[in-house]
Every structure is written in structure tokens, then in C-alpha cells.
């Protein structure tokens, strides 16, 4: 069984409109960082930390995508159903863990930046909570790598 990942069609995928909407929602949060620059200009760089940590989550997905794509070579060997499910589960593990970590980082980052504007001593606590939220995605990445490494082991070669 072959798994079709990329379409040869010249039409743009529907996913791009969804990603544009997600980017628009992300830009909505940039307004909070910009308003921080007006109210407390010395805290702008500290306000960008949650944005950078959320950007790292996308890199985890890219890593899993590269690992999965290197495991798919229809010219070299057959691609069995077990391999497809192993790759699907590794992508879902990393993606859903990244989604939950992104939601946690967004909530903590928003509340933490607002609280940091009022009380600068809260910055270290905000960073610690953000690190624990980022660890959720890192666990998903590790599980995804383990699951992806199981592809190709369904048969004795």
C-alpha cells in the first residue's frame, strides 16, 4: 500500500488558508507586545520570550517531518500498512503534544507578560512555567521519534 503525501496538482492546498488564519490570530498577540513597548519600553525583550518559545514548537514538527520523509522510499522497498500507521502515530504524537504545549505557552505567556509589567519579580516564575510547558512538546517529539523508528520493523528482513 502506498501513501500519497504530496499532490502533483498545481492548485494551492486548502491548508494554506487555515495557516493564514492561524498567523492572523498570532499577529493579534503581537499587539500586546507592542503595547508593552509603549507602557514599559524596558520590558519589550522580556515580553518576546513566550513568542520565541512558541516558535520552537514548529521546529519540532519539522524534525518529525524530516524523519518520516526519510523513512519513505518507494523505490527501495515496499511501504506497508504498519509503516504508514507508525508514521501517522509519530506525527500525531508530536503534533498534539505541540498543540497542547502551544496552548499552555500562549496562556502562560499572555498572563505572564501582563503580570511582569506590574511586578518584574514574576519574570523568573513565568520562565519556569514556560519551560515546563515546552517540555510537553519535547516529550511528544521523543515519543514521535520512537514511534517513527518502529516503521520498517513489521517484517523480518
| Per-residue pLDDT tens digits for 134-155 | 999 999 999 999 998 888 776 6
Task: Identify the burial level of 155 via C-beta atoms within 10 angstroms of its C-beta, where 0-12 means exposed, 13-18 middle and 19 or more buried.
Answer: exposed
Cβ atoms of 81 and 8 within 8 Å: the answer is no
Task: Look over the chain and give the mean of its residue pLDDT values, rounded to a whole number.
Answer: 77
71 grid coordinates: 523513512
pLDDT digits (tens, 9 = 90+) for 23-32: 555 555 555 6
Of all residues in the chain, the percent with pLDDT exceeding 90 is 13
Question: What's the pLDDT at 2?
Answer: 45
Mean pLDDT, residues 100-115: 85
135 grid coordinates: 517540555
Q: What is the pTM of this model?
A: 0.73
Of all residues in the chain, the percent with pLDDT exceeding 70 is 75
Mean pLDDT, residues 9-13: 48
Chain centre distance of CA 122: 26
pLDDT digits (tens, 9 = 90+) for 116-139: 888 888 889 989 999 999 999 999
Question: What's the pLDDT at 18?
Answer: 53
How many Å apart are CA 135 and CA 56, to the nearest integer?
11
How many Å apart are CA 80 and CA 91, to the nearest integer?
17
> What is the CATH topology of the domain spanning 13-154?
1.20.120
Amino acid at each position: 500500500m502506498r501513501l500519497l503525501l504530496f499532490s502533483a496538482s498545481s492548485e494551492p492546498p486548502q491548508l494554506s488558508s487555515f495557516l493564514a488564519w492561524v498567523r492572523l490570530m498570532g499577529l493579534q498577540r503581537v499587539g500586546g507586545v507592542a503595547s508593552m513597548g509603549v507602557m514599559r519600553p524596558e520590558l519589550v525583550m522580556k515580553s518576546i520570550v513566550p513568542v520565541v518559545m512558541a516558535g520552537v514548537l514548529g521546529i519540532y514538527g519539522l524534525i518529525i517531518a524530516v524523519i518520516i520523509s526519510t523513512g519513505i522510499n518507494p523505490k527501495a522497498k515496499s511501504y506497508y500498512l504498519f509503516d504508514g500507521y507508525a508514521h501517522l502515530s509519530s506525527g500525531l504524537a508530536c503534533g498534539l503534544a505541540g498543540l497542547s504545549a502551544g496552548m499552555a505557552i500562549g496562556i502562560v505567556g499572555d498572563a505572564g507578560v501582563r503580570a511582569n509589567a506590574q511586578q518584574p519579580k514574576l519574570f523568573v516564575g513565568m520562565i519556569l512555567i514556560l519551560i515546563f510547558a515546552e517540555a510537553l512538546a519535547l516529550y511528544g517529539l521523543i515519543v514521535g521519534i520512537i514511534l517513527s523508528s518502529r516503521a520498517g520493523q513489521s517484517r523480518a528482513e
